[in-house]
Chains A and B, each alone.
Chain A
Amino acid sequence: MSGVRVLVGTRKGAFVLTSDERREKWDVKGPMFAGWEIYHLKGSPADPNRLYASQGTGWFGQLIQRSDDGGRTWEPMGNEFGYEGVSRTHQWYDGTPHPWEFARVWHLEPSLTDPDTVYAGVEDAALFRSSDGAKTWEELPALRDHDSAPSWQPGAGGMCLHTIVLDPVKPERIFVAISAAGVFRTDDTGKTWRPVNRGLQSEGIPDSDAQVGHCVHRIAMHQSRPEVMFMQKHWDVMRSDDAGESWREVSGNLPSDFGFPIEVHAHEPETIYVVPIKSDSEHFPPDGKLRVYRSRTGGNEWEALTNGLPQENCYVNVLRDAMAVDSLDSCGVYFGTTGGQVYASADAGDNWAPIVRDLPAVMSVEAQTLS
């Protein structure tokens, strides 16, 4: 029997939610690592029982945990993220050069083919890779060698590398997104990188269409069509049909084009999901109505999905890593809120129900389809 495992990272621990393919009744396990911030946990596509988790607190720093049994047991792994090479600087909030300082792991992206290979996106922005199941980590330093790196600046949440997208067709191609620098792409497994932000317009920077400096919140692709990318920028929902070489806005009729997550339907590459948020200072849904918006046309034309979601007095946020889809025949969509709710839809967003309502603030949601 097939089923789904939803991995939830929260401000105070991790939770594992499981269901059969009907996705009506859920078993909730957790909190795991109670009291610790779990920025992200994700399973290996090559071995669904291999999970990686980013665990940390301001008191005790960064830990990485690994499970080889689908989250029943965990082992602490290597947690040393040493920047390579000579000391370098990026730009601090006051415009002065500031040395790179490791703060935390925002995102873990397991290899599509090797359970022992996993990438980590960290703050201050850099990309690390482990090839031994997270025992040891090495930086892919060429990203910070880019000429623009000394000008990168932190966003309000820190200068984080928060999104890693692995190309399923060209294994040497990797996309990363950094707040607030933008999207970078390598076509040689990290030996060289270049920014791919042409077409982005950001009013919050002095040169609105600069090569770098954009606060990209999240990028996503459909596995069957890796040339097509979707982006939720600070403001604006964007699309690229040429692997990031150029972007165009597809915000269309959204009530707000500010937001954090963006996801693609598992079986329909032109069906995408966003959660509009009112503004960058009012991090809650417009009009107090929690609405997922779906486009079946790859953007521009959007419909509100509201069945089962609170339509009054709702003032939660949905963070960038807190939305995911499963790949069952009827695509499931999941998202978590800063209010601790995890909502699920077993019918591609038409109807929603909470799996749990009162977790700590949700920071990440990932879905695994189990056979």
Chain B
Amino acid sequence: MSQSEQSDRARAHLVHLLEKVADADRQALEDIYNLTAAKLFGVCLRILSDRQASEDALQDAFVKIWRNAGRYDAQRASPITWLATIARNTAIDRKRSIGSRVMVSDDAIQDMASDERSALEKLEAEEGTEILNKCLETLEAKQRDVIRTAFFEGQSYSELALALNRPLGTVKSWVRRGLKRLKDCMDDG
């Protein structure tokens, strides 16, 4: 079986499990947990940088998955993205409710962003990855870094502005111009 067949099969399996969870099947939720908890925990850890908070966020995420599986639409998102998005949003909400404001220097942000990129290079190219990353490369470094940091650190505009010691309007403008370029590039690609 080729790699893409394998990933199609894994995706179909997760979609099937989510349908069962929507019918209140606890075993299906446990199966989803066993298949995806490590990935989702990785998402929480990345956003929260704190083990206990990440464990709490992972719990919250699976309670939400249990309640909202019926809303999953296979036409709109892959199951793993839907699950990881819930984990990421839950971790971001928790981070904001804790009110943790970790000060990070400009250099540190660039280091984090480049660490991510080298980690990425080790990954096998999958559908969409190549185009997204090619297009991210066409952005100015500061545009790319704020977008990536927002995504991976779950930082808001005001947190980014604080961390970068730049006015909010400047950071917004970097992000928005970066997003515009990213969209144009991806729509062409």
A binds B: no
Interface residues of A (CB under 8 A from B): none
Interface residues of B (CB under 8 A from A): none
